Amino acid sequence: MSALKLSTDQIHLIESSPDEKIFLEGIAGVGKTTAGVERLLFLLAQGIPADSILLLTPQRTLAKPYIDALLIPGVSAGGQVSVVTMGGLARRMIDLFWPVIGGQVGFSHPDSPPIFLTLESAQYYMAQVTAPLLQQGLFESLVIDHNRLYSQIIDNLNKAAVVGFPHAEIAERLKNAWNGEPGQMHIYDDAQECANRFRTFCLEHNLLDFSLQMEIFTRHLWNLTQCREYLIRSYQHLLADNIEEDTPIVHDILRQWIPQFRSSLLIFDLDGGYRRFLGADPQSAYSLKELCSTQFEFQDSYISTQPVTALENSLSTILKPQETAIKTLNPSIERYHPKTALVHGYFRFYPEMLDWVAKQVKQLIQDGMPPGEIVILAPYLSDALRFSILQRLDNLNIPCVSHRPSRSLREEPVTQCLLTLAYLAHPQWGKSFQVTKFDMAYALMQAIAGMDLIRAQLLAGIVFHNRQGNLQLTSFSIINPKMQERITLRLGEKYESLRIWLETYQQEPPQELDHFISRLFGEVLSQPGFGFHSNIKSGEITANLIESIQKFRWAAGEYLSETGKSIGMEYLEMVRQGVIAAQYLRSWQPESEDAVLVAPAHTFLMYNRPVEIQFWLDIGSRGWFERLYQPLTHPYVLSRRWLVGKPWTDAEETATNQETLYKLVKGLLRRCRQKIYLGLSVLGEQGYEQQGALLTTFHKLFQQWQSEGEN
C-alpha cells in the first residue's frame, strides 16, 4: 500500500477479502477513487494476476489515477490490468468475434472486415445518406447548420443503443413528448427516416458507428457463448469507478456479469450524473448496490477547505433552499465565512475581464501556486474565448493547455498551406475549389522560412496564375531581376525547389493525399531553409492532418472507389464543409504536466481531479444551466427514466435546469481546495448584457453578505 494517509474506513475497504463484492458511495472529494486505486494495488500485492482485473470507467479520463498508479515502478512484475470503457470493450470484442457474429447481425459482407467509424467518419456517412433527402425537402422548416443536424441524428441512434430501445422508436418517443406546435412534429419523422437509412447503409457497407457497436455487443456478442466465456475466463476481478456516469445498458451488462466475478468494487458518486446528455443514468447505476454484499459510504471531504465548504453551503441554500434547509450544517463550517473563498473582478467589457483573469493567474503563479493547480472554466468554451484566453496566458509566459487546441485542425495555417499545395499538385481534381493569390501568398509564408507577407504577396502576385481554374506556378528565374532582388535570391531559390518538386510530382501517377503530404513534408517543407524545419508545432499539425486523412481513407476509401470519387478531393470537400477536421481529436499532443487548464466546466468535472484554484468565466451565461439547443434530440425524453408518452413541459424544463445548476456548482466546489475567482463583465462575449441564473445567485449572495455587514 502507498504512503498515503488513509482513513479507517478506507483501509477497511482496501483490505477486504479478494472475494468481496463491494459498493462504495459518497460525494465528490471523500476519497473514493483513492480507495479504489489502493484496492487495485492491494489486489496486485495479494498476488492476483493483473490481467485478471478489469478496470471499467465511463470515459478514459476518469481512469487516469489508476493508470498513473499502475505505471509506478513499485507495482510488482506481472501482466497488465485491462483499463477499458464499455465502448472500448465492445469494439475489441466485435473485432475479435466478427467472423462469428458478422453474418448473424445482418451485414451484407460478413466475410470482409468491419470498418469502425469515428465520430468524424460517422458524420461523413450521415452526410452522404442525408444530403439527398435534404434536397428533397426534409427538415425544410428547421434552420440549423447541417453538421449539427447530422450529429443530432447520430446522437439519437446512440441514445437508443445505450438506453436500450429499438432505434426505430426514436421518432415515436420524441413526438409523444413534444409539447409545442403540432406542425413541427414532422421533423422527428424526418430524423427517423435519416437514422433508418443510415443504419441500413451501415449494414450494407460493413460500417460500425458507436450505436451499432454497442447494439451488437449488448444484444448479440454478450449472448454468444464463445464471447461471454472468453470474457468471464479472462476477468475475475472488477473495479468500476464513476458508475453513475455510465449508461443503463452498461449497468444491464454489469448486473449479469457481477455474479460471475470473484470480486468487484463499484464506486458511485452521490452528486454525479454529469453525463446525462450522453445517456448517464445514476438511478440504474445505484440499483447495482443490491448485488454487493459489502457496502461503504464515505463522508468526510479531503479536498475542500472550510471556507470553500461554507461557500458551497451558502450557494446551495440559495439554489435549493428546500433541500438545504433540512440538512444540518456542520457547526464547525459555520464559523468560516465563505467570503474568504471567493474573489471577484467586475468589469464592463469582456476583454477587460479576460485581462484581469490572466493577471490574477500570473500573480498566483508568482506567489508560488503551481500552474497545474489552476483551472479556467466556462459553461461552453467558444473557439474565440479559448483563443483569447490562451493567447493572453501565452503572452505572460504561463504554461497553459486546453481540452482541445486553440484552433481547429482545418483553421491552422499549416493545414491551409498543405491543402493549398495539395490542390496545386492535383490538377485532375478540377475546378471545385477556389485558390486565390492570397491563399497562395499565405501558403508560401508558411512553406518558406523567412518569407514575410509582403514578399509572399509580391511573389504570389507574379508566379501564381489561375487561368479559368487551371492553376499554375511559373519559374522564379523568369522574373524581372529587380523583383528577384526584392524578394531575395535565397527565398527565390527555395520557392523554385518547391515549384520543381510539385511539378515533378505531377508527372507521376497521383498518390494518396496523406502520402503526398508526408512526402512533401519530409522532402521539402521540413528541410533546411523551409518553414517547417525545426518547427515542432508544424510537425505536430502535419502529423494530425495526415492521421485525419488516413483515417478518412481507411473508413471511406472502399465506398468512394465504388462511386468513382477521388479520396483526396472528397477529403478537401469535407474539410471545406466543416464535416471533417473541425473537431479533430489529436493523437500527437504531448500531455502538459503542469499547466493551467482552460476547459468547459463539464469537461473539467470529467477529469475528476481537484485543484487549488478555479476561475469561473461567463457566469451570466445561460449555458450554466440550459441545455444546448438540439431540436432533433432530447436527453431526458430519450432516457430510461422518462415515461414513454408523457409530454415534456416547461415545468420539467425549469426543474431540470435548476437541478443542473445545483449539481454543477456543487460538483465544481467539491473539486476546489482554496478559492473561486469569478470573472464578471456587464457585457458578455457577444456584447450583450447577461442575467443567467448563476449570476443572479451570486447577486443574492452578495446582497446577503452586504446586509450581514450592515447588521
Query: Using CB under 8 A as the criterion, which residues of the chain lie in contact with other proteins when the complex forms?
Result: 47, 49-51, 59-60, 67-68, 71, 73-80, 83-85, 87-88, 91-92, 95-97, 99-100, 111-113, 118-119, 122, 155, 158, 162, 210, 226, 230, 278-279, 511-512, 515, 517-519, 521-523, 526-528, 533-534, 536, 539-540, 542-544, 546, 585, 587-588, 590-591, 593
Distance from C-alpha of 420 to C-alpha of 442, rounded to nearest angstrom? 9
What radius of gyration do the chain's Cα atoms show? 28
Q: At closest approach, how far in Å is the CB of 658 from other proteins?
A: 26
Q: Cβ 46 to other proteins, closest distance in Å?
A: 11
- Give start and end residues of each alpha helix (H) in 15-62: 32-45
CB neighbours of residue 137 within 10 Å: 9
Q: How far apart are CA 152 and CA 121, in angstroms?
A: 15
Q: Which is nearer to other proteins, 119 or 203 (CB)?
A: 119
- Minimum distance from CB of 80 to other proteins (Å)? 4
Q: Which residues contact 279 (CB under 8 A, 6 or more apart)?
A: 158, 159, 162, 163, 247, 248, 635, 639
Residue 98 CB, nearest approach to other proteins (Å): 8
Strands (E), 278-323: 294-298
Q: Whose CA is closest to 601, among 688, 660, 675? A: 660
* Minimum CB–partner distance for residue 504 and other proteins (Å): 12
- Output 459 or 546, the one with its CB closest to other proteins: 546
How is residue 424 written as a grid cell?
Answer: 496545386
The length of the chain, given as a count of residues: 711
Q: How far apart, in Å, are the Cα atoms of 473 and each of 462, 470, 493, 498, 499? A: 9, 10, 14, 10, 7
Question: Between residues 404 and 455, which has the closer beta carbon with respect to other proteins?
Answer: 404
Q: Strand, helix or coil at 517?
A: helix
Q: Which is nearer to other proteins, 513 or 665 (CB)?
A: 513
Q: Which is nearer to other proteins, 435 or 543 (CB)?
A: 543
Q: Read off the DSSP letter of residue 448.
A: B
CB 263 within 8 A of CB 43: yes
Looking at the Cβ atoms of 239 and 517, the one nearer to other proteins is 517
Closest approach, Cβ 594 to other proteins, in A, equals 10
Between the CA atoms of 273, 276, 279 and 285, what dihedral angle is there, to the nearest 10 degrees? 20
Nearest approach in angstroms of CB 104 to other proteins is 12
Please report, as a single letter, which amino acid is at residue 615: F
CB of 83: closest distance to other proteins in angstroms?
6
Q: Identify which of residues 100 and 270 has a Cβ nearer to other proteins in the complex.
A: 100
Q: Choose between 112 and 649: whose C-beta lies nearer to other proteins.
A: 112
670 contacts 27 by C-beta, under 8 angstroms:
yes
Report the interhelical angle of 513-520 vs 413-425 (nearest 10°).
Answer: 110
Pairing relationship of beta strands 464-467 and 470-473 according to DSSP bridges: antiparallel
Give the Cα separation of 147 and 162 in Å (integer): 22
Closest CB 646 distance from other proteins, rounded Å = 25
DSSP-H helix ranges across 464-611: 481-487, 489-506, 513-520, 536-563, 567-577, 601-607
Nearer to other proteins, 553 or 673 (CB): 553
| Pick from 387, 419, 414, 384: nearest CA to 400 | 387
Return all residues near 525 (Cβ < 8 A) that are at least 6 apart.
Answer: 447, 531, 532, 533, 538, 542
Nearer to other proteins (CB atom), residue 226 or residue 287: 226
Task: Give the residue among 667, 586, 548 at the shortest CA–CA distance from 403.
Answer: 586
DSSP assignments along 135-158, one per residue: HTTTTTT----HHHHHHHHHHHHH
**Which residue, 161 or 676, is less far from other proteins as judged by CB?**
161
Complex with other proteins: residue 171 or 212, whichever CB lies closer: 212
Q: Is the dihedral of CA 202, 204, 207, 210 positive or negative?
A: positive
Smallest gap from Cβ 559 to other proteins, in A, equals 18
CB of 611 to other proteins, least distance (A): 18
Q: How far is the CB of 430 from other proteins (least distance, A)?
A: 23
Q: Are 666 and 301 in contact (CB under 8 A)?
A: no
Nearer to other proteins, 53 or 194 (CB): 53
Name the amino acid, one letter, at 525: L
CB of 212 to other proteins, least distance (A): 12
Does residue 300 contact residue 330 with C-beta atoms inside 8 Å? no
User: Is residue 107 a contact partner of residue 206, using CB atoms and an 8 Å limit?
Assistant: yes
Residue number, 9 or 373, with CB nearest to other proteins: 373
Q: How far is the CB of 81 from other proteins (least distance, A)?
A: 10
- Of 76 and 108, which has the nearer Cβ to other proteins? 76
Provide, rounded to whole angstroms, the least separation between the CB of residue 96 and other proteins: 6
**Which one-letter amino acid corresponds to residue 3?**
A
Strands 464-467 and 672-681: unpaired
Give yes or no for a contact between 453 and 487, defined as CB atoms under 8 angstroms apart: no
Q: Could you tell me the smallest distance in angstroms from the CB atom of residue 514 to other proteins?
A: 9
Beta carbon of residue 585, minimum distance to other proteins (angstroms, whole number): 4
278 HSE (CA, 13 A, CB side) = 15
**Which lies closer to other proteins via its Cβ, residue 111 or residue 140?**
111
Q: What is the DSSP letter of 190?
A: H
Which CB sits closer to other proteins, 526 or 704? 526
Q: Phi then psi for 465, rounded to 5 degrees? A: -130, 130
Least distance to other proteins, CB of residue 320, Å: 30
CA distances from 507 to 7, 496, 671 (A): 72, 17, 60
Q: 211 or 284, CB closer to other proteins?
A: 211
